[in-house]
Each structure stands twice: as C-alpha cells, then as structure tokens.
Amino acid sequence: MPTSREVVLENVRRYRAIASLYRQTATFRPLQRCSLLAQAKEWEYLALTELESHFMAGALDYDQQPQVAPYAHSRSETMAAA
C-alpha cells in the first residue's frame, strides 16, 4: 500500500507532466498559445499546492508530537549524577 508521501509525489509528477504537455502543445498552436500556457500554469499551481499541503500537514504532525533526542534523558541524568 503506497504511503501518503508516495501518493503526493505521484500526483505532483502527473500534474507536472500534464503542464509540460500543455506547454509543448502551445509551441505548435500559436493561436491557442495564451490559453494553453494558462492551463499549464494552473497544473503547475496544483502541483505546488499538493506539495505545500503535504509538507504543512507534516509540519503540523511534527509540532504536535514532542521530539526528544534519544540521548537527552540519559545525558541529563549523567550530568546530574556527576
């Protein structure tokens, strides 16, 4: 089963591939160029939004879980004993 990170990265890859196709098509269709480039920009924005939401969710999870270095307790106990 894919992890949420893998799902996000796959979505981002797909969004950017679609954006790339719009940009490529724009080079061969000068009359539709502006519209096609606008579509490409929207797909790139979706990719960026997907990444930002994933990392913001990860940051929130990180903030909610206290992180303590594995040696912090043993070191403070050692320093107190000395």
The pLDDT of residue 2 is 82
**Residue 5 pLDDT:** 86
Structure tokens belonging to residue 48: 């960026």
Q: What is the extent of the structural domain holding 57?
A: 4-81
pLDDT of the chain along its 82 residues, tens only?
Answer: 888 889 999 999 999 999 999 999 999 999 999 999 999 999 999 999 999 998 888 766 554 554 444 444 444 444 455 4
| pLDDT of 59 | 61
Name the token pair of 7.
Answer: 């799902």
pTM of the predicted model as reported, rounded to 2 decimal places: 0.68
Question: What pLDDT is attached to residue 68?
Answer: 44
Domain count, the chain: 1
Residue 70: the pLDDT is 47
Distances (CA, A) of 28 to 20, 36, 46, 62: 13, 11, 24, 47
